[in-house]
A and B are shown apart, each in its own frame.
Chain A
Amino acid sequence: MKSTTSTILCCILVALFGFCAFSQNEEPIPIPKTWGGPGLEKPTPVSLEGFSGEVLEVLKFDLYVQGFSFVTPDAAQYLISGSNAGNVQGRVTDRFSKSSLLARSYTGASLRREAHAFADDIVLVTRHDKGIALTKIAFKDELPNGEGEIYVADFDGHNPQAVTRDGAIVAAPAWVPGRLALYYTSYKLGNPDIFYHDLTTGRRQAIARYSGLNSSAAVSPDGARVAMILSKGGSPNVYVCNADGSGLKKLTSTSEDSSPCWSPDGQWVCFATKIDARRRLAKVPAGGGEVRVVNTIGVSNPTEPDWSPDGKWIAFTSQMSEFDVCVVPAGGGDATILVRGEDPSWAPNSRTLICARRSASYRYVLSLLDAPTKQFKDVARVSGSDSQPAWAR
C-alpha cells in the first residue's frame, strides 16, 4: 500500500515537472535596456512576407533605422507577415517559441501611415520599446543663394511642409518638447533673430532681437526656458531666458561658445566652446554656475552636441579631416565615431539619430543612423540643401 502511494506520488511529481518543462517559458519578460556600446550591437534579424510596394518599403526603412536586418525565415528571430491589399494587416511571431506576439489589422489611414503604425507595433512587441515611425522632424531647406525655409516632415522626410515662406536666411530650428511649436533663427528682419512659431495657429513672435547674433535656440525639456547664443555682450556666449524671451540671464563667459543643448533632466546646458586654446564640449548648470569640460577622448574639434533623451549619451560633430557624427557617454569619456556627417539630433528612442551629410555636389542631405548597429539611410529630400535637423521629442 505504502509503496503504491509513493509510486503514485512519484508519478504525480514527474508529471507535474514534465508538464511545466514543456509549456513553461523559462525566459523572463525582457526589460528594455539601453544599448551597450555604439556600433557594437548586431541588428535584430527578421523576415518579412506578404508585403509589397510602398508598405514593404516603409516597413524595411522604419525597421532598418531602428537596428533590424532582413533575412530568410530560417535565419530570423521574428517572423513578420501579413498583407497590404486595401489596408495593412500584420502578424509577428517569435520564431523560437513559435508564439504569436501580434496580430492586427490597421485601418483609417493611408497605407503608408498604417505601415508606420505596424512598424511601431513590431518594435513594441519585439523590444518592448516605443517606435519612432510616427514621429516628426524639422530642418532647414536652403537654396544656392543662401535663402531658405524651415520645414517639418515625417521622420523619413515624407510629407514635407514649409513652416516659413519668408525667402530669408533661416537656421537652427528647435522643437518645443511635446508640442507642435518651434523656435528658429531668421534674418527676415535683417539681423539674425530668434522667433517662436506655433505650428497649429501660425502665430509667431520674436523672442530675441538683440544687437549682433541671436541664434542656436534650444528648448528646456519642460518647455519653460530657451538657451541660445547671443553676442550682445561683446562675444558669443550662452544665455537662457523664459519661453517668451523674458528673464534673460547670461550663463557663460567662455570664448567661442556655440550650439547649446539641454540635459533631459533640465539641470545642465551642454555646448561647444574653446578652453585653453582647444575646442571642447562643456556644460554649465542651467541656473548658472561653473563651466565643466565634457571630455571627448579620441576625437578633436567637437561641436553641435545633442543629449540623448535617456540622459546617457551626447551625440556631436567632430571635425578632423572630415566631419563625423560621434557619441560619448554623457559624463564624458571615450568618444566613438559613428558615420561621416554632422549636426546629429536624437530620436525619442535614444538610439536613432538624424544628421546632415554633405553630398558630392556640396549640398546637404539628411540621413538616419542607428547608433548601436551603425546602420544608416538617407531620408527623402526636399529640393534644396537640407540640413540642421531637429527631431521632435
Chain B
Amino acid sequence: MKTTKLIYPLVLALAATLATTGCKHKPVGITKLPGQNAPQVGEPTPTTLPPGTPVNTEEKPPGGIPLAEAGLFDGMTPDRAALAAYTIHFAYDRSDIRSSEKPNLAQVAQALSSDPSAKLLIEGNCDERGTEEYNRSLGERRALAAREALAKLGVDPMRIETRSFGKDQPADPGHDESAWSKNRRDDFVLLHPKSGV
C-alpha cells in the first residue's frame, strides 16, 4: 500500500521532469550534405581597390582653427646645405639639448638673425631602437626642444617649424651605436621666401 502510494507521485514527478527538460536525442551518424542549394560563400567586394584620389593641397581641414603657423611656411625654398654642419645630436631616448650642442645652436640662431626673411624647419629624427609611433613622437619632441632653445637665444619661435621623421630617415643605415648616435639628431633646414614675381 505504502509503496504504491510513493511510486505514483514519483512516476508523476519523473514524467513531469522529463516533459519539461526532455531527453536530448543526438543522432548518431552523419547528416546528409546539402547539394545544389548549398549557400554560396561568395567573393569579397571590392576585389580591386580604386586608386586614391589626388590630394588637394589647398584643402584645409574644417573646424575654424587657424593654421597660421603652417600657412606661413608654404611656398618657401628649402636650403639643406646652409646649416648642414650644425646638426645637433641627442642621447638615447632623450630630447633634452646637451651642453655640447649649444655652439651649433648658437650658429643656427646667428644665421637666422642675419637673414630676417628666412625661416627654419627643424627635422627631428631617432635611431631604430624605439617603436614606430613612439619614435615619431620623440623625433617631434627633439625638434620642439631645439625650437625652444633657439627661442631662448632670441629667435622668434613663429619663424620655426618642426617636422618629425621618427626613425624613417636615418643618416647612417648601420645597426650599431656608431650609426645610431648619428641618427638621433635634429637637422636644420633654412627656408627662403620664393624670389621673383
Task: Give the B-binding residues of A (Cβ under 8 A).
Answer: 2, 5-6, 9-10, 12-13, 16-17, 19-20, 23-25, 89, 91, 93, 97-100, 103-110, 113-114, 117, 134, 142, 144, 146, 152, 161-166, 169, 171-172, 180, 185, 188-192, 195, 197, 199-213, 215-216, 229, 231-232, 234-236, 241, 244-248, 256-259, 272, 303-304, 317, 319, 323, 342-343, 362, 387-388
Encoded as 1 (CB less than 8 Å from any A CB) or 0, chain B from 47 to 61 comes to 011111101110111
Check B141 against A204 for contact (C-beta < 8 Å). Answer: no
Q: CB within 8 A of A106: which of B32, B41, B169?
A: B41
What separation, in Å, do the CA atoms of A185 and B55 have in the docked complex? 13
10 contacts between A and B (CB under 8 A): A6-B3, A17-B14, A20-B18, A91-B30, A98-B28, A142-B168, A234-B144, A272-B134, A303-B133, A343-B131
Known: A234-B144, A317-B131, A319-B130. A97 touches B26 (CB 8 A): yes
A17-B14, A213-B137, A247-B63 as given contacts; A303 in contact with B131, CB under 8 Å: yes
**Residues of chain B lying within 8 A (CB to CB) of residue A197:** 52
- Interface residues of chain B, those whose CB is within 8 Å of chain A, are 1, 3-4, 7-8, 10-11, 14-15, 18, 23-35, 38, 40-44, 46, 48-53, 55-57, 59-63, 65, 67, 69-70, 73, 128, 130-134, 136-138, 140-141, 143-144, 161-166, 168-169, 173, 175
Contacts beyond the supplied A17-B14, A211-B67, A303-B133: 17 A-B pairs with Cβ under 8 Å: A2-B4, A6-B3, A6-B7, A98-B28, A99-B27, A103-B31, A103-B33, A108-B42, A109-B43, A113-B41, A164-B52, A192-B163, A201-B50, A215-B133, A235-B144, A247-B63, A343-B133
**Chain B residues positioned under 8 Å from A12 (CB to CB):** 11
Asked if B161 and A245 make an inter-chain contact with CB atoms under 8 angstroms apart, the answer reads no
| A contact face: mostly helix, strand, loop, or mixed | mixed
